[in-house]
Structure 1
Amino acid sequence: MPADGKGVGARIAYYRSVTHPRMTQQQLADAACVALGTIRKIERGERGVTDATLEAIADALGVDPGRLRADRTPVHTRVHAALPALSAALATYDCPDEGPVRPLHELRAAVAEAARWRLAAAYTRIARELPNLLTELARAYQAAPGEERPELSGLLVMAYRSADAVAFKYGAHDLSARLIELMRWAVAETGDPLLSASVAYVRAETFFAARAHTAGLRVLEHALDAAPAPTTPARIAAKGALHMRAAVIAGRARDAAAAVTHLDEASALAERAAEDVYCGTAFGPDSVRTHEVSVAVSLGNEHVGRALEVAGEWQPPRDLPAERRSGFYIELARAQLWTGLTDDAFESLKAARRIAPQHTREHPWVREDAATLRRLKRADAEALTTFAEWCAAT
């Protein structure tokens, strides 16, 4: 539903000119991928704003879209309200309601767009659009001739993965587990070993959620054994991504030897692959660098200093997916907090928020660390309080 233009436009102008004093209308338009004329009309209150445009502008400004809306409904409330529709779409995966089905090329484009939203941490868009897309894909799959089903199965896998990003990040772990089981069901018909490796990568979420890290490491190592030999860029990325995730879960299991081994394997493979998104997963030298920080924080104790060393010599480039970049700063903030660098930790949390506000707000570590900073620090108390209230830290 389009938002009222006048009040929203004034708030957009405020955040652009007051909280981002060097941001011009042109820069906002470029960052949000919106026409300059559209930004001008919105700020003057001459036109309404669709949810998609509002979310793009909010992402560019680094604020929660709820701060710009006239009704000020928080994003997390709207996402949680959409989860029942997502559950309903999954419940009828094998007997969807009758309805229209777009041509295959349009379904491909819709699934690819949802994947871009996931990488950009645009969770409200996913929550709003994916229930209908999943139902339409199920409808297409059920009606398709046999020769078209493998491709449609692959599209279902990718769409389930985008939906899972919302379920997992917003704490709906039972729903996330259901989505992952449907991914495993659908991938079997694709006959694509690289997509199977991608599903194994995502499946690790269930072990993170259950804190069953040793079991998760074992499952990932089985997936590594089954992955195809790394003879092409896509195959290199599939195996490298599994090693990255295995390194992190080994760190959570406090298995330092396994964590280092898997991280070294990922680094060696990254030297043979350009940074890119392969089968929905970012992999390459920069992605491995972000995982160095994650592994160091997972291992804790004497390993935390490695996270600070990485951050001292490298920062994630802007072309790395927003979800991954914000994750780097969230992990770094924890390392900085543990080593007494409270000012730096708060700056890292704010950087994560600017990059991907929805991802940052829903991350449990952000809430924990913001609450800790608020208790420890008296300087800049107002800014800390505002941040803590934004992410619901207690």
Structure 2
Amino acid sequence: MPGTIALALGKRLETARHAAKLTRRQVHEASGVSVSMIRKLEDGERWPSDTVLVALARAVQTSPEELLDGPRRSDSRVHQAIPAIQRVIAAYDLPEDGPVRPLPELAAAVGRAVEQRVQSQYARLAEEAPPLLEELFRAVDQARGADRAHAARLLAQAVRSADAVAYKYQHRDLSGRLVELMRWAASLAADPALEAAAAYVRMETFFAAGQLGPGLRSLRTAVDRMPTLGTERLVAAAAALHMRAAVAAGRMRQADDARLHMREAEALAGRVPERLYDGTAVGPDSVEVHRLAVAVELGDPGDLQEAVAAAARWAPPRDLPAERRSHYYIDLGRAQVQLGRPQHAAESLLVARQIAPQHVREHGQVRAELATMVRLTRGRDARVMALARWARAV
């Protein structure tokens, strides 16, 4: 059995054991599995037989499926809306006849979808996305000339909003299809800034597949292909690419590359006011948010100490989108966990939950963070346990 898979199962077993407030001896007494075997399983050194897995799951008050695959997805209106999005995009290039509102009205509707995305209102967005996408597919099909380019830009933004739902809620295949649709719409619009935004979003597929090297190359290629940065939109698009490249390089533990991309992002973001550009928040405050994210990905204790200290002096302003602000506190919690401060991390996650509960509850890194916090506190911190159960980390 591959070591990484066995180690992941071991971490889930240890987390479930601490959540149930059980020692290995108590699990042995409840399951009949030896203490030494439990230790080896938790350390990822052994793989359980079906009989042992069932016995251990019963002892730690979970199911074999959750030990193997992790906690089930939370119940949500979002998951119920996913099939409608899938049906609509299946025939994106063969839209049925129907009404199409004037482009200014469609632009207002797309603006609401973008706002729902950046404010992490995923349930409402998932329910309203299918008819909007369907209408935009008709608009692109029927329009000509400059109107078609305008409709394509609107479609790219709406598709990106729908992709946020698919990606956050772990519908990876659907997310990949939506990313390709965004790239298709951006190419129809022949808009370099929008094409750069599509490259920014495409990095999600590389993150999900664990293909960080190709993903980082794709971001660098997108930067190289950009024309002269003669407008605010183009400057912001380039800054966004560098911010995302810095995070990718950090996750690969390429410190020099990560810091180089952060310097590029800082220089570019300093030239534009903080706001949304083609759906991405860019500006000096967004650079600060990414600075913390890069420190967390690199995992250097000195950088983490400095980042946590900086968080005592700076906080993301309230006019930043909720998704970005909540991500800052998620990353702050991750830094605090890495520094062995689970109680401080719980405070950070509570702030993140207050800002954007839907974003926090469905964030994969939050679940991993909370599982680590459960192990660090041995399931004895009531606040940590409440958060972990709310996010279905245990």
Q: How does the TM-score come out when normalised to structure 1?
A: 0.78
- Give the match for residue 340 of structure 2: 340
Task: Work out whether residues 373 and 384 of structure 2, in 8 Å CA contact, stay in contact via their aligned partners in 1.
Answer: yes
Match status 1:251 vs 2:250: yes
* Alignment map for 1:100-179 (pairs within 5 Å): 100-179=99-178
In structure 1, the partner of 2:52 is none
**CA apart distance, 1:356:** 0.3
Amino acid in the other structure paired with 1:200: A
Instruction: Tell me the SS of whatever aligns to 1:282.
Output: strand
- State the 1:160 CA deviation: 0.4
Distance 1:79 1:379 in 2: 30
Q: Which amino acid aligns with 1:195?
A: L
Asked if the contact 1:164–1:176 (Cα under 8 Å) also holds between the matched residues in 2, the reply is yes
Check 1:175–1:305 CA distance in 2 against 1; reply closer, same or farther (3 A cut): same
Name structure 1 gaps, 5 residues minimum: 1-73
Distance in 2 (CA, whole Å) between partners of 1:307 and 1:228 is 34
Q: Distance in 1 between matches of 2:145 and 2:235?
A: 31
Query: How many Å separate the matches in 2 of 1:222 and 1:374?
Result: 41
1:8 aligned partner = none
Question: Which sits farther off after the overlay, 376-385 or 314-323?
Answer: 376-385
1:312 aligns with 2:312: yes
Does the C-alpha gap of structure 1 residues 231 and 104 become closer, same or farther in structure 2, counting only changes over 3 Å?
A: closer
Please name the residue that 1:210 is paired with.
209
Q: Which residue of 2 aligns with 1:321?
A: 321
Q: Secondary structure at the match of 2:92?
A: coil
Paired residues in the alignment total 321
Where does 1:22-61 land on structure 2 (aligned, <5 Å)? none
TM-fit CA distance, 1:76: 4.3
Task: Please name the residue that 1:195 is paired with.
Answer: 194
The 8 Å contact of residues 86 and 131 in structure 1, kept in 2 or not, is answered as yes
Distance in 1 between the 2:202 and 2:193 partners? 14
Conservation of the 8 A alpha-carbon contact between 1:157 and 1:183: yes
Deviations 1:145-197 (A, max 9, x none): 34421111111100000000001111111111100111111111112111111
Return the letter of the residue paired with 2:304.
V
1 CA distance for matches of 2:294 and 2:188? 34
Aligned position for 2:261? 262
Q: 1:387 to 1:102 in 2, by over 3 A?
A: same
Give 1:2-17 correspondences, 5 Å limit: none
Identity %: 52
Query: 2:155·2:182 contact (CA, 8 Å) conserved in 1?
Result: yes
Q: Secondary structure at the match of 1:349?
A: helix
**Is 1:75–1:124's contact at 8 Å kept on the other side of the alignment?**
no
Letter in structure 2 aligned against 1:157: A
Matched AA of 1:321: P
Whole-angstrom distance in 2 between the partners of 1:259 and 1:359 = 26
Indicate the residue corresponding to 1:54 in structure 2: none
In structure 2, the residue matched to 1:355 is 355
1:210–1:379 distance in 2 versus 1, CA, 3 Å: closer
Match of 2:331 in 1: 331
Pair 366,272 (structure 1): closer, same or farther in 2 beyond 3 Å: same
CA contact (8 A) 1:293 1:306 kept: no
- Displacement after TM superposition at 1:372 (Å): 2.3
Indicate the RMSD between aligned Cα atoms, in angstroms: 1.6
Partners of 1:289 and 1:310 within 8 A in 2: no
The question of 1:219 aligning with 2:223 is answered no
Q: Give 1:34's aligned residue.
A: none
| Helix, strand or coil at the partner of 2:170 | coil
Q: State the distance in 2 between where 1:87 and 1:310 align.
A: 43
Structure 1: how far apart are the matches of 2:263 and 2:201? 21
Task: Give, in whole Å, the separation in 2 of the partners of 1:107 and 1:81.
Answer: 25
Structure 2: gaps spanning 5 or more residues = 1-72
For 2:75 and 2:243, the matched residues in 1 are separated by 29
CA distance in 2, matches of 1:253, 1:384: 29
Could you say what secondary structure the match of 2:382 adopts? Answer: helix
- Calculate the TM-score normalised by the size of structure 2: 0.78
**Cα displacement (A) at 1:305:** 2.4
C-alpha distance in structure 2 between counterparts of 1:375 and 1:189, whole Å: 50
Deviation at 1:380, TM superposition (A): 7.3
Cα shift at 1:269: 1.4
Displacement of 1:245 in angstroms is 0.4
Q: Which amino acid aligns with 1:382?
A: A
Instruction: Please report how far the alpha carbon of residue 221 of structure 1 lies from its aligned counterpart in structure 2 after TM superposition.
Output: 0.4
Tell me, what secondary structure is at the counterpart of 2:160? helix
- Quote the Cα distance in structure 2 between the aligned partners of 1:344 and 1:158: 37
Q: Which amino acid aligns with 1:257?
A: D
Q: What's the secondary structure of 2:271's corresponding residue?
A: coil
CA displacement at 1:81 relative to structure 2: 1.1
Could you tell me whether the CA contact under 8 Å between 2:149 and 2:189 is conserved in 1? yes
Instruction: Report the counterpart of residue 289 of structure 1 in structure 2.
Output: 288
